[in-house]
Structure 1
């Protein structure tokens, strides 16, 4: 893979990570405003969350994973694929919760919902930080000397 392709892929992922981190900030806002968050905001956030996670995961799998397989090995990629599966399951649960909130129905206690949201966005932030570190490492390896 040439330098230009790597740089383009990294730039695209950086933009997607910024988008995902904004979604995490929005989830934190919802958690902070329970039990009375803006219901319309929750509905829009449910859609944005589902779309963002799908787009980021697809882009990582198409652009990042092949580079990681070359540089870091199959075990790293296998771990990240497993995290994507876990992300998918957790995202679906969070989307269901946001849709329920948007309809004026709570799923469980507000404390439990807040904990679920916080656990999710903290894990996503940690996942993104790891992948950004991997991208920085790949970028330094791919830069022409």
Structure 2
């Protein structure tokens, strides 16, 4: 799980660098980021939903915590993957030479996406991981 968070945070950092560089971005970085974005998220989400969430649900039964956040986290996974598809389309277009017409809108989109991922990670680190015995990596 720590590796999954590290990989997602590296992705967020790459997206932030792209957003900061708009409209003059490194097209190869856009293509590289676009190519890993959806597969990385899908693999991590599958891992969380099959391993982490069931462990959290089992741990919650022995505590005063609630599993009410699990459906929300699952819904966020779906939203993140849909958003990742849109981000991928834009990054591929830029990477293949399309002109950045509205850098502000694209930057806003990228920031909305990676900030959402960072909030999801923060919630898992603060609430889910400690309950299943994985210490906060800091």
Structure 1 position 123 matched with structure 2 position 127: no
2:69 aligns to what?
Answer: 76
The number of residue pairs the alignment matches comes to: 128
2:22 aligns to what?
Answer: 34
- TM-score (normalised: structure 1): 0.82
Q: Measured at CA, do residues 87 and 107 of structure 1 come closer, stay the same or move farther in structure 2, by a change above 3 Å?
A: farther
Q: Measured at CA, do residues 103 and 76 of structure 1 come closer, stay the same or move farther in structure 2, by a change above 3 Å?
A: same
Greater helix fraction, Structure 1 or Structure 2: 1
C-alpha RMSD of matched pairs (Å): 1.5
Task: State the alpha-carbon separation in 2 of the partners of residues 113 and 105 from structure 1.
Answer: 13
- Asked if structure 2 preserves the Cα contact closer than 8 Å seen for 1:28 and 1:117, the reply is yes
2:80 aligns to what?
Answer: 87
Structure 1 position 139 matched with structure 2 position 133: yes
2:92 aligns to what?
Answer: 99
2:46 aligns to what?
Answer: 58
- 1:26 deviation in Å? 0.2
Runs of 4 or more, structure 1, over 3 Å off, are: none
- Asked if structure 1 preserves the Cα contact closer than 8 Å seen for 2:28 and 2:95, the reply is yes
Q: How far does the alpha carbon of each residue in 1:79-110 deviate from its partner, in whole angstroms, 9 at most, with x for none? A: 11111111111110111110011012146511
Structure 1 residue runs of 5 or longer lacking an equivalent are 1-12, 141-145
- Asked if structure 2 preserves the Cα contact closer than 8 Å seen for 1:97 and 1:107, the reply is no
1:3 aligns to what?
Answer: none
Q: Measured at CA, do residues 106 and 62 of structure 1 come closer, stay the same or move farther in structure 2, by a change above 3 Å?
A: farther
